[in-house]
Amino acid sequence: MLRLACVLFAALAEVARSTWTPIRPYKDPIIPGFNPDPSCTCVGDQFYCVNSSFNSFPGIPVYTSRDLTTWEPIGNVLSRPEQLPQMAQIYGSTSGIWASTIRYNNGTFYVTTALVWDKFAQDDPTRWDNLIFTTTDIYGDNWSDPIHFSPRFQGYDVSLFWDDDGSTYVQGSHAWQVSPGIWQYEIDLSNGTIWNPELLWTGTGGLAPEGPHIYKRDGYYYLLIAEGGTGLNHMVTMARSSGTIHGPYEPYAHNPVLTNANTTEYLQTVGHSDVFDDIEGNVWAVALATRNGTVDYPMGRETVLVPVVWEKDQYPLFNPYNPVRVTVDMEGPLPPPRPPLQTPDGGTLVGHSQTITFSTNTSLPRQLIYFRLPDPSRYVVAPPSHPTSLCLLGVSANLTGPDGISGTSTFIGRRQEHVEFTADVDLSFSPQQVGEEAGVTVFLQQLQHFDLGVVALNSTEERYVRLKTTTANSTDGDMKDPLSRPGLVKLPESVGDNLRLRVQAVNASTYVFSYAEQGNGKPWNVVGYGDASEVSGGFVGTIIGMYATGNGQNSTAPACFSTFSYTGVPNVY
Ligand SMILES: *[C@@H]1O[C@H](CO)[C@@H](O)[C@H](O)[C@H]1NC(C)=O
Ligand SMILES: *[C@@H]1O[C@H](CO)[C@@H](O)[C@H](O)[C@H]1NC(C)=O
Ligand SMILES: *[C@@H]1O[C@H](CO)[C@@H](O)[C@H](O)[C@H]1NC(C)=O
Ligand SMILES: *[C@@H]1O[C@H](CO)[C@@H](O)[C@H](O)[C@H]1NC(C)=O
Ligand SMILES: *[C@@H]1O[C@H](CO)[C@@H](O)[C@H](O)[C@H]1NC(C)=O
Ligand SMILES: *[C@@H]1O[C@H](CO)[C@@H](O)[C@H](O)[C@H]1NC(C)=O
Ligand SMILES: *[C@@H]1O[C@H](CO)[C@@H](O)[C@H](O)[C@H]1NC(C)=O
Ligand SMILES: *[C@@H]1O[C@H](CO)[C@@H](O)[C@H](O)[C@H]1NC(C)=O
Ligand SMILES: *[C@@H]1O[C@H](CO)[C@@H](O)[C@H](O)[C@H]1NC(C)=O
Ligand SMILES: *[C@@H]1O[C@H](CO)[C@@H](O)[C@H](O)[C@H]1NC(C)=O
Ligand SMILES: *[C@@H]1O[C@H](CO)[C@@H](O)[C@H](O)[C@H]1NC(C)=O
Ligand SMILES: CC(=O)N[C@H]1CO[C@H](CO)[C@@H](O)[C@@H]1O
């Protein structure tokens, strides 16, 4: 009973719409840090959102909110390796789980998405594996195994629509083999069978028409898509069909409905939107955006919230307060501030600071993610010898992997959600073989990361704290920017096995890497710097993590991390 569809309430609240909801200010991005391709739905008074997760595992995190400004992670659609064992073989930084859509129908939540394989040519049919996950209990990791589309849909960004006559449709962006554009199929959700393909629209001429969703309003079927590519020309455009879902779809005369292209706004690349009603009948959109400043921002594509006014028989107006644009300072008829419902693990809210401790019989917090499927035996929470630590055992590969695109190292972390932050961790590590290394990393993808590690060089008696830089263009000392320099500090023998490591984003362009001895009042020693633009770009965003590697052989000594704290500086843009 609690979970009545918002649209029902919306009909009841039609008259009251916007006449009594106060307009409140808020800041975009509403969901900061590595949150691309958002999709949301509203059920009762709760909003639920998902986004792309690429190679991260667990994948497709689900977030909930009751006021659209405080967001809490409540589970992951992809939480069991058996759901998608193919993730272990994925390679390339833009492979993995692409944009997901979340929908709710008759008691069940549906998430549709594509597992995309970079290693295949774009017209290779096996490149695209589109999937349907379902759950009736969205709290916790209770999502089904996926049903795979059959035959394969050679595209991505699939989105479900239930029509009033009981037919179910899926729209998606067709890739290159057939005509690029927005295609629609009928779908049987019980077995993934798709049939009756129709090309609905190819957009207004922008690159890569994608991210389609259909909304039915007042007898019209509105088709919303993204165009222009997920870069500076990104935009949201619309078309509609009267009376039938099959078209023809007439383009809106005033496209795009949302874009920051050709502006100098701080938020750029705005596009890939989804629209939903709140319980009072106010309409909202989410979209992705990236920040622009003197550098590219390492957090990648983040989620913005935009108020929408959608009058009868009209196309929607995105951001009536500053039409078609998204700015940092926004306003809209937000629901009253309310904390999310308490979830079983009392999860930390998105955009908040967090201190992670480890203890016996507790599971890892939802914020911690791996890169691809982990080998669980290499991540031990609170073993008897270290009852407040997470102990990592390195594999032979480092974070770059054997070739920069496949394999991975022992790694777990959480995303960067603030322009400026400090992350500290205590490390207890006594390398037993030359080359064994453990530390903290700012990780964008296998070819772009900064690693601050304790490592045995020459002999296990000689321990160093070392900053290594890997970027798509260069490794180690070959930096264009003198600030991006590696560092190497030999630890005196008087320093024991217990150190503290620190990563700080001191401003939008600079990471500072330091270590200290454990104990009160011990000073931090700077080891080196990283230029944020070296870990920017592409589809993903930075993860601040802990890692271990044997650098060519499996490690024998565990690296035990405790008290991992991430402290963000709010409201820095
Ligand atoms: C909704 O779900 C109920 C219970 O699973 C089922 O009996 C009913 O047929 C469904 N209704 C529709 C319209 O699918
Ligand atoms: C859903 O997941 C939660 C937490 O993992 C668990 O407590 C609950 O029993 C699950 N519910 C169902 C229906 O499986
Ligand atoms: C999927 O279900 C439909 C019935 O809706 C059936 O006609 C079709 O044969 C099924 N396909 C497969 C592959 O089982
Ligand atoms: C931005 O400007 C370019 C060059 O004039 C133009 O081709 C493009 O359509 C514009 N994009 C938008 C979304 O207005
Ligand atoms: C991004 O910011 C830089 C530096 O302020 C500016 O030169 C550039 O024009 C901006 N780009 C866009 C697309 O606004
Ligand atoms: C952990 O769980 C086991 C099995 O339930 C129990 O025997 C043990 O006492 C627990 N340990 C702690 C520290 O709570
Ligand atoms: C990672 O390993 C590769 C291959 O063994 C090596 O070339 C590279 O320098 C290493 N990178 C780091 C950051 O240690
Ligand atoms: C130990 O390794 C470091 C870093 O590779 C190197 O600079 C130094 O010369 C080595 N020392 C000896 C004694 O080999
Ligand atoms: C690599 O170099 C090219 C050309 O200088 C530059 O456009 C690109 O941004 C660089 N990539 C990274 C990740 O630094
Ligand atoms: C960021 O901090 C670094 C290190 O303190 C400094 O050199 C640099 O000028 C700062 N950049 C900006 C844009 O403030
Ligand atoms: C390293 O460990 C992995 C399992 O984590 C194992 O498959 C592999 O064979 C080991 N390599 C060596 C050289 O022992
Ligand atoms: C809002 C949301 O779901 N954000 C997630 C998007 O995916 C990345 C990568 O998995 C997560 O770090 C975000 O929490």
By mean pLDDT, which of 30-44, 268-282, 371-385, 392-406 is the weakest?
30-44
Q: What are phi and psi of 169, to 5 degrees?
A: -125, 155
Mean pLDDT across 213-228: 97
Mean pLDDT across 107-121: 89
For residue 13, the one-letter residue type is A
If one compares 425 and 445, the residue with the highest pLDDT of the two is 425
pLDDT of residue 485: 60
Ligand nearest the Cα of residue 344 is 2
Q: Cα separation of 83 and 135, whole Å?
A: 14
pLDDT at 117 over 50: yes
- Other beta carbons within 10 angstroms of residue 552's beta carbon come to 12
Write the class of the CATH domain 354-568.
mainly beta
Q: 408, 472, 395: which is closest to 436 by C-alpha? A: 395
Mean pLDDT across 2-19: 42
The closest-lying atom of ligand 9 relative to the alpha carbon of residue 296 is 9
Write the DSSP assignment of 338-398 as a string of letters.
-PPPPPTT-PPPTTS-EEE---TT-PPPTT-BEESS--GGGEEES-TTSTT-EEE--BSS-
Contact 136 CB / ligand 1 (< 6 Å)? no
Tokens coding 142: 């209770």
Helix (H, G, I), strand (E, B) or coil at 11: helix
Q: Cα separation of 297 and 417, whole Å?
A: 11
Contact assessment for residue 399 and residue 411, using Cβ atoms and an 8 Å cutoff: yes
By mean pLDDT, which of 140-149, 313-322, 349-358 is the weakest?
349-358
For residue 68, the one-letter residue type is L
Which residue is associated with the tokens 């990563």? 503
The closest-lying atom of ligand 5 relative to the alpha carbon of residue 264 is 14
> 533 CA to middle of ligand 9, Å?
9
Q: Cα separation of 37 and 375, whole Å?
A: 28
Contact assessment for residue 543 and residue 415, using Cβ atoms and an 8 Å cutoff: yes
Cis before 336? omega within 30: no
Which residue is associated with the tokens 């691309």? 36
Contact 190 CB / ligand 5 (< 6 Å)? no
If one compares 467 and 483, the residue with the highest pLDDT of the two is 467
- Kind and range of the H or E run holding 95: none
Q: Is 322 exposed, middle or buried (0-12, 13-18, 19+ CB in 10 A)?
A: middle
pLDDT of residue 345: 56
pLDDT of residue 481: 45
By mean pLDDT, which of 182-191, 363-372, 412-421 is the weakest?
363-372
Active site residues: 37, 210
Interval 197-217: pLDDT, tens? 999 999 999 999 999 999 999
- Other beta carbons within 10 angstroms of residue 20's beta carbon come to 9
Ligand nearest the Cα of residue 139 is 2
Contact 489 CB / ligand 8 (< 6 Å)? no
Confidence bin at 3 (pLDDT 50/70/90) = very low
The closest-lying atom of ligand 12 relative to the alpha carbon of residue 303 is 1
pLDDT of residue 476: 42
pLDDT of residue 540: 80
The closest-lying atom of ligand 6 relative to the alpha carbon of residue 361 is 1
Interval 338-355: pLDDT, tens? 877 765 555 678 888 999
pLDDT at 95 over 50: yes
pLDDT of residue 168: 98
Contact assessment for residue 487 and residue 479, using Cβ atoms and an 8 Å cutoff: no
pLDDT at 395 over 60: yes
The closest-lying atom of ligand 11 relative to the alpha carbon of residue 378 is 5
DSSP summary character for residue 87: G
> 243 CA to middle of ligand 3, Å?
28
> 361 CA to middle of ligand 6, Å?
6
| Dihedral sign for Cα atoms in the order 161, 163, 166, 170 | negative
pLDDT at 196 over 70: yes
Q: Cα separation of 189 and 186, whole Å?
A: 10
> 44 CA to middle of ligand 7, Å?
51
Q: Cα separation of 335 and 69, whole Å?
A: 9
If one compares 144 and 492, the residue with the highest pLDDT of the two is 144
Ligand 9 — pocket residues by CB below 6 A? 448, 471-473, 534, 537
Tell me which residue has its CA closest to atom 13 in ligand 2: 137
Ligand nearest the Cα of residue 510 is 10
Contact assessment for residue 425 and residue 566, using Cβ atoms and an 8 Å cutoff: no
Contact 106 CB / ligand 1 (< 6 Å)? yes
Contact 294 CB / ligand 5 (< 6 Å)? yes
Helix (H, G, I), strand (E, B) or coil at 159: strand
If one compares 479 and 184, the residue with the highest pLDDT of the two is 184
The closest-lying atom of ligand 6 relative to the alpha carbon of residue 360 is 13
Contact assessment for residue 377 and residue 383, using Cβ atoms and an 8 Å cutoff: no
Percent of the chain with pLDDT over 70: 90
Contacts of 253 (CB under 8 A, 6+ apart): none
Q: Per-domain residue ranges for the chain? A: 2-332, 354-568
pLDDT at 365 over 60: yes
Inter-CA distances, 418 with 145, 505, 512, 569, Å: 34, 9, 15, 6
- Kind and range of the H or E run holding 548: strand 543-549
Confidence bin at 482 (pLDDT 50/70/90) = very low
Ligand 3 — pocket residues by CB below 6 A? 150, 188, 190-191, 193
Pocket of ligand 5, candidates 292, 297, 328, 533: which has the most ligand atoms within 8 Å of its Cβ, to mutate? Answer: 292
pLDDT of residue 402: 87
Pocket of ligand 2, candidates 74, 76, 80, 137: which has the most ligand atoms within 8 Å of its Cβ, to mutate? Answer: 137
Pick the CATH number of 2-332 from 3.30.1130.10, 2.115.10.20, 2.60.40.10, 3.30.2130.10: 2.115.10.20
Tell me which residue has its CA closest to atom 13 in ligand 8: 458
Contact 458 CB / ligand 8 (< 6 Å)? yes
Contact 459 CB / ligand 8 (< 6 Å)? no
Tokens coding 181: 């554009």
- Other beta carbons within 10 angstroms of residue 304's beta carbon come to 27
Contact 292 CB / ligand 5 (< 6 Å)? yes
Q: Cα separation of 226 and 82, whole Å?
A: 33
Q: What are phi and psi of 331, to 5 degrees?
A: -145, 160
Ligand nearest the Cα of residue 191 is 3
Tell me which residue has its CA closest to atom 13 in ligand 7: 468
Contact assessment for residue 284 and residue 307, using Cβ atoms and an 8 Å cutoff: yes
- Mean confidence (pLDDT) of the chain: 89
